[in-house]
Amino acid sequence: MEHSQDIVDESGHETPVWAIFGDLMAGLVGVFVLLLVWALGFQLELAQSLEQEVAKRQEEERRRMELEAALADPLAQGRITMRDGRIGISGNLLFALNSDQLQPEGKTLLKTLVGPLRVYLSEHHQLLMVSGFTDDLPIQEGNLHFSDNWELSAQRALTVTRTLIDEGLPPSLVFAAAFGDQQPSVPNKDAASRSQNRRVELAPVPRQASDSEFEEPTPQE
């Protein structure tokens, strides 16, 4: 006895099984195509993101190398350090202990940095962040100038900032920041490590264009 390969619908008409199977396969193929398109789109987006990240890192490395080249002399002399694009200056070179008064040697060094920094910041549309840091020792008792390390680091950053401006760096290209003893470069274990943490860092950072730079010029009457 042969079994029928047709399905009887409600109207009594027989629907071939192969037709139903074909519709099912067509639906599955459609889903597969949609998944394939989504996967390809995701892969393309991922590749573009990776390409952009690689380009960004290459640009950052190029800028870092340009900055190192501009500051080759003080770097070679060991008067400054460069790490991750940040220029480090020993606090001992700039200031006496618990003081915000710039020492002559420190002022001379800052003067030599202004020219290269000014050119670099202008060419790369960046600002210079001047950051002050201290070690973890409290301010010496009897010091009437600073209540804590936050205030000392802030005043030192401002002193360096004002000196850079006095030596020719445009005020619009530089700003000061204070970190106190909260961001040590090495653990505060002894006198040598604390000496490393008493420092000022100069770091180029991206500059946001002001609204005025995007305003259309007012027509002349």
| CATH number for position 186 | 3.30.1330.60
In a domain, 169, yes or no: yes
Same domain membership, residue 113 and residue 176 = yes
Three-class secondary structure of residue 34 per DSSP = helix
Residues 100 and 40 in one domain: no
Instruction: Give me the mean pLDDT over the 52-69 stretch.
Output: 74
Does 10 reside within a domain? no
Q: Which residues contact 211 (CB under 8 A, 6 or more apart)?
A: none
Give the mean pLDDT of the chain: 81
pLDDT at position 132 over 60: yes
Phi and psi for 97 in degrees, rounded to 5? -60, 130
Tell me the average pLDDT across 137-159: 87
Same domain for 92 and 196?
Answer: yes
Are 21 and 115 part of one and the same domain?
no
Q: Is the pTM of this model over 0.75?
A: no
- The two structure tokens encoding residue 108: 């001379």
Whether 78 and 185 share a structural domain:
yes
Tokens of 91: 């606090």
Contact assessment for residue 145 and residue 125, using Cβ atoms and an 8 Å cutoff: no
Q: Could you list the beta-strand ranges (E) of the chain.
A: 6-8, 14-16, 81-83, 86-90, 126-133, 174-178, 199-206
Name the DSSP letter for residue 136.
S
Question: Residue 38: which residues within 8 A CB-CB, separation 6 or more?
Answer: none
Element (H, E) at 164: helix 149-166
Residue-range definition of the domain harbouring residue 58: 16-63
Residue 106: both structure tokens together: 């420190």
For position 210, what pLDDT does the model report?
Answer: 57
The helix/strand/coil state of 6 is strand
pLDDT grade for 209, boundaries at 50, 70 and 90 = low
Q: Is the pLDDT of residue 217 over 60?
A: no
78 shares a domain with 51: no
What is the distance, to the nearest Å, from the Cα of residue 93 to the centroid of all Cα atoms in its chain? 27
- Counting the structural domains of the chain, the total is 2
What is the model's pLDDT at position 66? 78
Helix axes 104-124, 17-70, angle to 10 degrees: 140
1 vs 66, higher pLDDT: 66
199 DSSP β-pair partners: 90, 133
Per-residue model confidence (pLDDT) at position 32:
81
Q: Same structural domain for residues 109 and 38?
A: no
The CA radius of gyration of the chain, in Å to the nearest whole number, is: 33
Q: Is residue 197 part of a domain?
A: yes
